[in-house]
Amino acid sequence: MLSQTQKYAKPSFVLVILMAALWHFWALPYSPLPWFDETFFASITHSFINGSGFHLAVCPLQSNGEPVLLYGPIYFLLTGLITKTLGFGLFSFRLANLLGAIVSIFLFSRIIKKLGWRSTTLYLMTILLAFDVIFVQNAHSGRMDLVALAFFLGAINLHLTGHSSIKQQFIALLGTLAVLTTLRIAILVLPFFALVFFTNIKNKQYQQAATLLLTSMLLYAIWIGIGFGSLSNFLAAYTQSHSSSFTGHTLTSSFLGGNFSIPFHQYPMIALGLMSIALLFKQHYQQQKFWLILLPIPFFYLLVKDTGAYSALVVPFWYLIIGMAFEKQAKANTSCLNRLTAFGAIALLLGVNGGVFLLKSATIATTVPQRNNKQLTAWVSKHLPAQSRVVGDDRYYYAVINNHSDFQYIQRVQSNEARAHYHKEEFQPNYLFISSQTTPDIIEAYKQHFVFGDTFTYTPITQQNMVTRLIQKIPMQIHTSLEGTLIQVTPKKILESN
């Protein structure tokens, strides 16, 4: 019976992962609705592929018209390549981070294999990661976190294969590419580099240690020279208050400093992870592989101000720690009750991740017409003249841009009055495109500076079924519709001068 189970384990695992990947590619254009972070980065990519550098066209008020260099160039080079090849749009822009998620899952399984764990542990931990709530959410987000994670996991995977100088160069390259994708992941990469560096020193592999250090420093110094011109300019961008007009604080103070913001659905994973650390610590604290897995966890929670989405960077390490403890229990000569308890704990995590995944999948599948950006784009093409200037909600960004018009945010940054005045004087929009999320005070501020004219309402088909009715009863707002109102406007100053 056991041999039969093992016979079908690998095909079943491959089938589950393959079906999950196909679901992701299908659902990518439907979930989530276009949102702030995504359209922020998409705007920079759009400027880049059109020869305007890393310009934030969607909100020049936030960047003071300066190029956005704070994240590094790699993500925009990748999204630029993809959108230039496939055409700029919602699916093509989100594709880079989804591919980063897929590569991360593959590398995660390779790391487990190189740790010498059983196939059962590999399958269970990989499925846990592939269906993790935050990981799946981030994979569709249009952010760059999982691209950076893929580079980082690639460096760890390479480190586990050997310690030659040429491998140190590639470890340095992959780690630096991760940091050049988003500086936030430096919180994880630098401790890893330090661990590898001092391990080389301890083993008297001085050439390898020097190669790792010098290669990473040289690569990042090249970016500082190209992007900022000097080290002082680079440091000023992160430490001077004018570097972030959106938050009103320095970028360093805005993003550094743990806040222990943990989504409730991560509680079971973290509780089991902490128990796993307690189980492993006494026996494994002297092993480098234990610290390789453990270090990212405390560094993340102590140094990153998380909003929830960023923890996608650290969840693989929670599952590796849990996997290490699960493997230890499986190999130890423990009682049947202990082994059943270990499997029960993993089953609980699978239930949480799988349950939320199924609920979200059902939500997406039953609200596709409301989420369909292609239908919105077709509607916009009938009501919005090309070369128009539009101020609106994030969710209408792609539809407006793909109709050869310009778009800026209606709800960021500064006060409503200051923003409306800026748009009247500088951008001079022809239309506002508002949603149910656009608050009355924002609309009122724009009425002070613009005369409202013809109004067009986009109302997608709304499906009513058991899932949509359930969503309506959940005591939290879940946005599933691109419904909105396009309003023709004329700046009052221009109108009065005529």
pLDDT band for position 163 (50/70/90)?
Answer: confident
Averaged over 434-463, what is the pLDDT? 93
| High-pLDDT (> 90) share of the chain, % | 77
Res. 413 pLDDT band, cuts 50 70 90: confident
The pLDDT assigned to 307 comes to 78
Nearest CA to 152 out of 186, 199, 129, 110 is that of: 186
Q: Minimum mean pLDDT among 82-91, 152-161, 246-255: which range?
A: 246-255
Q: What is the pLDDT of residue 497?
A: 46
pLDDT of residue 243: 39
Do residues 425 and 389 make contact, with C-beta atoms less than 8 angstroms apart?
Answer: no
Q: What local confidence, expressed as pLDDT, does residue 470 receive?
A: 66
Q: 37-41, 338-342, 396-400 — which is least confidently predicted?
A: 338-342
Q: What are the pLDDT digits (tens) for 111-144?
A: 999 999 999 999 999 999 999 999 999 999 999 9
* Average pLDDT of the residues of the chain: 90
Query: What is the model's pLDDT at position 264?
Result: 87
Answer yes or no: is pLDDT of 247 > 70: no
pLDDT reported for residue 48 = 97
135-144, 306-315, 428-437, 474-483, range with the lowest pLDDT: 474-483
For position 263, what pLDDT does the model report?
86
Q: Give the predicted TM-score (pTM) of the model.
A: 0.93
pLDDT at 498: 44
Q: For residue range 281-335, what is the model confidence (pLDDT) as tens digits?
A: 999 988 999 999 999 999 999 998 887 789 999 999 999 999 999 998 877 766 7
How much is the pLDDT for 125? 97
Q: What angle do CA 301, 302, 306 make, to 5 degrees?
A: 45
Q: Is the pLDDT of residue 1 over 60?
A: no
Is residue 7 scored above 50 in pLDDT? Answer: yes
pLDDT of residue 3: 55
Task: Taking residues 443-464, report their average pLDDT.
Answer: 91
pLDDT of res. 342: 85
> Is a pLDDT exceeding 60 seen at residue 430?
yes
Q: Which residue has the higher pLDDT, 2 or 255?
A: 255
